[in-house]
């Protein structure tokens, strides 16, 4: 099923970075989902992991990693660790990874799942706050659909850093790559996507007549 995911979902799209393909071929997604969901681990959709959360579809994860162009020189912040799958993939690509999860139950599962990776640090904290004590980060990856990116996160990006994220734009989730330059982050949307909302990034609801 993992091989089929790579062949039918990743290679048929714009996931062309051989290191991303190798990492996603290596990490067993089924180990990061509840036993009842393991038969759906490689489906082209979000997989429920409990606590009202879902693992992003493989294609969404693959395309974000592909555009981020992560190397062993990168210090990465992962926002929304969930049960640890994306952090485990990032461990194959980056030099160091700081993964933040705000749900205590999921963070505990992720901590156990990531115990073998000595270049990943799992932190319990609010998603929108990132993890400033380990900043700056050359790459920030937000693992889930968000409505906005707060300044608290972009402030933790290195001067020439990049941020890979799925932003809901007029009700449509779109993958985007942001690049930091001169103190500002500019985003380029490049594809529609599937996914599951990541708590903490909702825009304030305005009153309408």
Positions annotated as catalytic residues are 56
> Which helix (H) or strand (E) covers residue 75, if one does?
strand 75-79
194 in Cβ contact with 45 (< 8 Å):
yes
Query: Within a 10 A sphere around the Cβ of 95, how many other Cβ atoms?
Result: 14
157 in Cβ contact with 187 (< 8 Å):
no
Backbone φ and ψ for 69, nearest 5 degrees, come out as 50, 55
Please name the residues in contact with 120: beta carbons below 8 A apart, sequence gap of 6 or more: 87, 88, 90, 91, 96, 97, 98, 99, 114
DSSP notation for 169-193? ETTEEEEEEEEEETTEEEEEEEEE-
Alpha helices (H) along 116-200: 151-154
Cα–Cα distances (Å) from 155 to 57, 114, 138, 188, in that order, read 28, 27, 12, 19
């Amino acid at each position: 099923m993992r091989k089929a995911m790579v062949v039918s979902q990743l290679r048929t799209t714009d996931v062309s970075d051989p290191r991303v393909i190798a990492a996603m071929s290596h990490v067993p997604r089924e180990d990061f989902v509840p036993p009842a969901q393991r038969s759906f681990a490689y489906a082209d959709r979000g997989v429920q992991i409990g606590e009202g959360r879902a693992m992003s579809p493989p294609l969404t994860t693959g395309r974000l990693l592909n555009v981020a162009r992560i190397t062993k020189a990168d210090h990465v912040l992962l926002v929304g660790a969930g049960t640890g799958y994306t952090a485990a993939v990032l461990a194959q690509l980056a030099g160091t990874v700081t993964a933040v999860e705000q749900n205590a139950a999921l963070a505990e599962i992720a901590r156990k799942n990531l115990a073998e990776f000595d270049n990943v640090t799992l932190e319990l904290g609010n998603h929108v706050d990132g993890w400033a004590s380990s900043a700056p980060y050359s790459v920030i990856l937000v693992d889930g659909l968000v409505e906005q990116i707060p300044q608290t996160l972009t402030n933790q990006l290195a001067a020439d850093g990049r941020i890979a994220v799925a932003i809901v734009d007029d009700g449509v989730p779109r993958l985007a790559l942001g690049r930091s330059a001169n103190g500002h982050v500019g985003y380029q949307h490049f594809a529609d996507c599937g996914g599951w909302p990541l708590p903490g990034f909702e825009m304030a609801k305005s009153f309408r007549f």
